[in-house]
Structure 1
Amino acid sequence: MKRIYFFFLMLATSMSVVFAQKDAKAQAILDKTAAAYQKAEGIAITFGGTQKGTLLLKGSCFYLDCAGVKSWFDGKTQWSYVQQNEEVTISNPTAEEIQSVNPYALITSYKTLFNYRYRGFQTRNGKKGQEIVLTPRQKGDIQLITFTVSADYEPIYIGVKLSNGKTQEFNITSYQTHRNLNSSIFRFDAKKYPNAEIIDMR
């Protein structure tokens, strides 16, 4: 299921010495981005690029609607609904699995899962921001992640280079903070999908 999506996230080897060290400039930017994320409370995001979609965030919870798949995560349980198959898969995902669905998981996991370096100012989709390159510490599906943030430490762009050589790009087209997001938004409502087959993997 996680391969249907994206993203961001996940892990390869063969890293040069320049990636092996943590960059103080990069860490300062990531720290400020994480702090801004925590203060933003409810966040509503729309994105384009390789895929288009909507992402709602609040703390560790998220709702994602992208490419015919909807995912809800309430901090413990994840529901993934595939419209084409009318199936809902329920699971208690690991941190790594959450990263494969929620692109913003890297904002809270960069200290433990990634090495990073500052690349300087870059323009992405007409927007200028400071860019960080993150490389996973463990081998996996992701070779590196390119992360660009605005002067207000809001994400502008996320690019994920996979170990198979492909790159998935996500341009943030709208980023709204302090949204009033009820906890029910992050849970699957079976009443709205009466014909869905439930597959419980817990």
Structure 2
Amino acid sequence: MKNTILAFLAMILAVTVSAQYDPKALETLDAMSKKYKSIPSFEANISYTLTNDVEKISEEFKGKITVKGNKFRLALPEQEVINNGATIWTYLPEAKEVNIDNYDPSSEDVNPSKMHEIYKKGFKYLYLQDKVENGVMCEEIDLVPEKKDAQYFKVKMFINKKEKIIQSFTLFDKGGNRYKYSITKFTPNVKVEDTFFTFDAKKHPDVAVVDLR
């Protein structure tokens, strides 16, 4: 256990020391950001995995995300997160409960609709290599937060080398957890109304509403 902890601390130190404002990484990140800004909306099937080697945790499930501007709707097996840019709803179907809160864009929580802009503030970035990810040639880039007390100590992105869209991204926290989101299907320019990004309590009369605002 001691060797595992030491190795983990060494990994954090190595990543922090090597991270920089890499112009090669910036070129790819800017191209990726430009690509997403040219797409008014998209839908993606995702595969999510949570792993922790020390705690022997390995979980995996699939979901779908729909994004339009700064709005998103993320559907997972046990919950649905809906964000219209101002309000965020977390719907738990099995519990028949929905939590409502104000959305704070300045929070450290990762917003799936803004992943293409995450590098622009508070991060150093480093191009690592070209590497095949899920059968697609990608550019592997690490983002490291400038703040030492950030929620995640690293974000690893694989960006499709040809299409300049995100193939996968992994969040690393200091507890040894790795949260990986892989895009298994990407559909740009989907037609979706703004009302899709709100939770209509009238359509769910049996759901308890917990307003945290």
> Which has the higher Rg, Structure 1 or Structure 2?
2
Does residue 1:71 correspond to 2:70, yes or no?
no
Could you tell me which of 54, 73, 82 is aligned with 2:64?
54
For residue 160 of structure 1, what is the aligned residue in structure 2? Answer: 171
Question: Which stretches of structure 1, 4 residues or more, deviate above 4 A after TM superposition?
Answer: none
Q: Between Structure 1 and Structure 2, how many residues are aligned? A: 188
* Alignment of 1:131 onto 2:140: yes
Amino acid at match of 2:28: I
3-state DSSP of counterpart to 1:147: strand
Q: 1:201 to 1:99 in 2, by over 3 A?
A: same
Q: List per-residue Cα deviations over 1:100-126 (Å, max 9, x = no partner).
A: 3x3342312321131111111111122
* Aligned with 1:82 (options 80, 88, 92): 92
- Is there any run of 5+ residues in structure 1 with no aligned partner, and where? 1-12
Shift of 1:136: 1.7
Q: TM-score, normalised by structure 2?
A: 0.82
Q: Choose between structure 1 and 2 for higher RCO, CA contacts under 8 A separated by at least 6 residues.
A: 1
Structure 2 segments unaligned to the other structure (5+ residues): 1-11, 50-60
Asked if the contact 1:99–1:105 (Cα under 8 Å) also holds between the matched residues in 2, the reply is no
SS at match of 1:35: helix
* Aligned-CA RMSD value: 1.8
What SS does the corresponding residue of 2:29 show, helix, strand or coil? helix
Give TM-score, length-normalised by structure 1.
Answer: 0.86
Write the distance in 1 (CA, Å) between the matches of 2:95 and 2:166. Answer: 33
Change (3 A) 1:155 1:121: same
Q: Percent identity?
A: 26
Tell me, in whole angstroms, the C-alpha distance in 2 between the residues paired with 1:97 and 1:197. 26
Choose which of 137, 141, 146 in structure 1 pairs with 2:156. 146
Q: 1:82 to 1:99 in 2, by over 3 A?
A: same
Distance 1:49 1:90, change over 3 A: closer
